[in-house]
Structure 1
Amino acid sequence: MAYVGDGRLVATPEVRAYLDAVFTPGSLLGARSDDPRQLVEVVEVTRLSSIRVPSGRLVVDTPWLEDEDGEPRELAVRIPPGVYGVDAAWTEAPYEFMGKHFSGREVAATRLCVREGTVAVWEMGLAVDDDIERLRQGDEVGFNTDTSTGAFGDATAWPALTAPFRNFWEQRRTAPGALVSRATESLDDGEFEMVRDEARGADLITFSATEGLSVAWLGRAEDGELISIVVMGHMGMEALA
C-alpha cells in the first residue's frame, strides 16, 4: 500500500508543485512579486558539499544564537549515520533598478540528499518535541530566524558546530565596530558556510532561509522511505506568494 502521510503534515498542492519542480533546471516557479510579468526560472542545481551526520540525528535550524534558552530543532525522523550530499537550486528572475539590470539570481531551495528515488509525498518535518495532536489543518511547523539563515548539522555535535557563530556574535557584542571574522569555510562565494568538527566527525552547512518561519520538507518515496529534506529560500516563498 502506497504511503499517503498524515493530512496535517502533507504539503498543499501549490507547495507540492513547487517542491517537485525546484530541483529541475528549466522549471518555472512563478513570478516576481514586484513584477508579475517576470517569471522565476530554475537555472542551475549545484552540489555544494557533503556533510557527515555520524549520529543519524539531524538538526535543521538557524546556527545563530537567536534564543539563548532555546533548544536546536532536531528532526524526529532519523537517517542512517553517514555522509550526505547537499544541493542548491538556483533561480533567476531578471529585474531593473535605477537604470541597471540584474539577473535576480537567488537560492530557491537547499536539499539534503538521503537516498536515490522519486518523491511521492512531501510532508512537514516534525521536531522531536512537536506534538502532532496539537496541529490543525493548515498549521506550519519549522524553525524561526530573523537572520534568513538555516543549517543542516549533526544533533550531537551541534554545540561545537555552531561555536563559530556564537563566538562571532559575542565578539561583535563586546567590540562593536571591530572587524571580526568567522571561523567557517566559505562555499560558493560566501553564499553558504561550512563548519567541520573533526573530533566528532561531523559537519554543518548553512543555507538561505526565509525571515520568520522555515519548514523542513521531507520527501518520501511511495513506500514511505525518506528521499530528501528540503528547505526553501527567500525566492521560493516569494514565488509561492
Structure 2
Amino acid sequence: MIFDSLDVSYGEMWGSYRGMTHRSPMSRALAARKHAAGKDYAVLLSAREQPLALVEYWPGRMWRVYLFDDRSWCMQMIDLEPHGTGMLLAQRNTRWQFANDQAHLCGRWDVQETTTVSADGHIEVKSEFAGLRGGSPESSHAGAYGPSSVPGRRFAMAVEDFLCPAPEFGDWQVFAPLLTQQGHESASTIVLNDRSVDEGSGPLRATGIEQLFNPGACDTREGPGVVEPIDAGMLRITSGRLAVSDPGWTSNLRTVTVPLGDFPVTLSLLRTERGVDVAAARVTFLDVPPRKWEMTLRPDEDLGLLGEGKFYGVGVDTGTAAFMDATRTVTEDELDDEIFIPLDSEGHFSVELPGTEPEPNLIAFRAGKGDGAYPVWTGRTEDGKVSCVVVDFQLHCAAGTE
C-alpha cells in the first residue's frame, strides 16, 4: 500500500492488535494524559480502513509495534527500548509466516523468525518451525508440543541501522519507516488524521448507590428483581483503616481512613428468577446519610487517567470479597475452612472470620456473579466524615447505578 496520510485512534493496549478497532477506545486527550503519566495505551495507525501498525506504549518508555500486511494480517512485532538520548533501539523483531487464513486466525504460525539486537550492535537471528502446532503472536513461546528450531546466526552491524527517534506524544510519523517492512510505501510528507473518540462524561459516577439497599422491587439486567437487605454482622476496626479486598489477596490493599470501633455490615441480596446474588455490600460508620460519594482510590490512582465509565476497584479472583481491618491477615487454612467452604453452602452469603478480642475480625461475602473488578464508593457527610463504604457488584440496571 502507498499512503500519504494515516488515521490515528487510541485505546487500551492489551490484545488490541487483533483487529483494526480498539476493544476499549479512548480520546486523544486521555491518551495524552496517560503518556505524560507513564501509563500504558495503544495507538492504531491505519489507512483506507486497513490497519498498518498498532503501537503500544509501555511503562518505562518502552514501545511495542505490531505491523500488518495488505491482507490486514498481523505479521510482525517489534520491541523498542530507550537507547541514548531521544532514540529507540529495535531490540527485538519477530516475524511470522502463516499457511492460510485459518492458521492466522488461530495464531498458528509455520515459521517464526526473531532478530535480537544488543546495545553494541551484536545481532542474533533465530528461526523456529512449528509443525502441526505452533505459537501465536501473543507470545514468542512455543505451542503445546514445541516447535523445532535451527541454530541462530550471529553477526555484527552498526547499531544505528536499528534506531528510530523516540516520539513525543502525537509524533507518530516516526514509526512510518517501520511500515516498509511489510511492503507499505509512504509519501515524503504524511498527514495524521485524528479518529479518536470524544472525551465523554468521564469516569464512572456514583449514581443511585443508596437505592441498592432499598428493599422491594427493582429492575436488573436479567429482568425484574427484588432487593432484600440482610445483616452480615459487626466489623471491628482497630487500626483506623478499613480494607476492601479479596480475602485471598491481601497485599496492596484498597483502604479508607475510618473511626475505631465495631460497625454494622449489610448485604443487599438481589433475587431474580435465576436465583439470589449479593448485589452490594456496605459497612456503616455514621447513622447519617452521605451527602456525596467518591471513588475509593489507592494513592497511585488518578481519576484523570480513566476513560468514560471506567473505574478503579477491588479485584476479585476467588469469587469472594471482604471488609476487614487493614492489619488483619488470613492464612490459607482459614481461607479454605472458614471462608470458602462455608460460602459454598446453600443459603450462605457471608461469613465472619473472628479475631480474638481486641483483635480485628473479617467479614467475607460472595462477590456478585464472581471474579472481576468492582467499584468501591466512600460516602461522606457534609463535613467530610465517612458515613459508609459500599462495594457495588453492578447487577442492577444503569437506571439504578452506572
- How far is the alpha carbon of 1:200 from its aligned partner? 4.8
Residue aligning to 1:109: 280
Q: Deviations over 1:32-80 (max 9, x none)?
A: 1xxxxx31221x2111100111111111000114xxxx724131x3111
Percent of residue pairs identical: 26
Residue aligning to 2:264: 85
Q: Deviations over 1:210-238 (max 9, x none)?
A: 42112211112233321111112363489
Q: Work out the CA distance in 1 between the residues paired with 2:260 and 2:240.
A: 4
Q: Please give the root-mean-square deviation of Cα atoms over the aligned residues, in Å.
A: 3.0
Change (3 A) 1:71 1:8: farther
Q: Work out the CA distance in 2 between the residues paired with 1:237 and 1:143.
A: 20
Q: Secondary structure at the match of 1:22?
A: helix
Change (3 A) 1:240 1:223: closer
Q: Secondary structure at the match of 2:281?
A: strand
Residues 21 and 29, structure 1, Cα contact 8 Å, conserved in 2: no
Say which structure is richer in strand.
Answer: 2
- How far is the alpha carbon of 1:190 from its aligned partner? 2.8
Change (3 A) 1:111 1:200: same
Structure 2 gap segments, 5+ residues each: 1-200
Structure 1 gap segments, 5+ residues each: 1-6, 33-37, 96-103, 170-180
Residues 61 and 72, structure 1, Cα contact 8 Å, conserved in 2: no
Alignment partner for residue 372 of structure 2, among 208, 212, 230? 212
Residue aligning to 1:22: 212
- How far is the alpha carbon of 1:29 from its aligned partner? 3.8
Alignment partner for residue 132 of structure 1, among 282, 285, 302? 302
Q: Work out the CA distance in 2 between the residues paired with 1:186 and 1:202.
A: 20
Q: Greater CA radius of gyration, 1 or 2?
A: 2
Q: Any residues of structure 2 matched to 1:188-199 within 5 Å, and which? A: 189-198=347-356
Residue aligning to 1:182: 337
Residue identity matched to 2:390 = V
Residue aligning to 1:49: 233
- How far is the alpha carbon of 1:189 from its aligned partner? 4.1
Residue aligning to 2:254: 74
- How far is the alpha carbon of 1:191 from its aligned partner? 1.9
Residue identity matched to 2:238 = P
TM-score, normalised by the number of residues in structure 2:
0.43
Q: Secondary structure at the match of 1:235?
A: coil
Change (3 A) 1:57 1:240: closer
Change (3 A) 1:236 1:182: farther
Residues 238 and 359, structure 2, Cα contact 8 Å, conserved in 1: yes
Q: Work out the CA distance in 2 between the residues paired with 1:79 and 1:240.
A: 25
Residues 28 and 41, structure 1, Cα contact 8 Å, conserved in 2: yes
Q: Secondary structure at the match of 2:382?
A: coil
Residues 21 and 27, structure 1, Cα contact 8 Å, conserved in 2: no
Q: Work out the CA distance in 1 between the residues paired with 2:318 and 2:326.
A: 21
Q: Work out the CA distance in 2 between the residues paired with 1:235 and 1:152.
A: 20
- How far is the alpha carbon of 1:30 from its aligned partner? 3.0
Residues 8 and 135, structure 1, Cα contact 8 Å, conserved in 2: no
Alignment partner for residue 60 of structure 1, among 244, 266, 271? 244
Q: Work out the CA distance in 2 between the residues paired with 1:222 and 1:140.
A: 24
Q: Secondary structure at the match of 1:213?
A: strand
Q: Work out the CA distance in 2 between the residues paired with 1:152 and 1:119.
A: 19
- How far is the alpha carbon of 1:137 from its aligned partner? 5.0
Change (3 A) 1:25 1:143: same
Residues 229 and 269, structure 2, Cα contact 8 Å, conserved in 1: yes
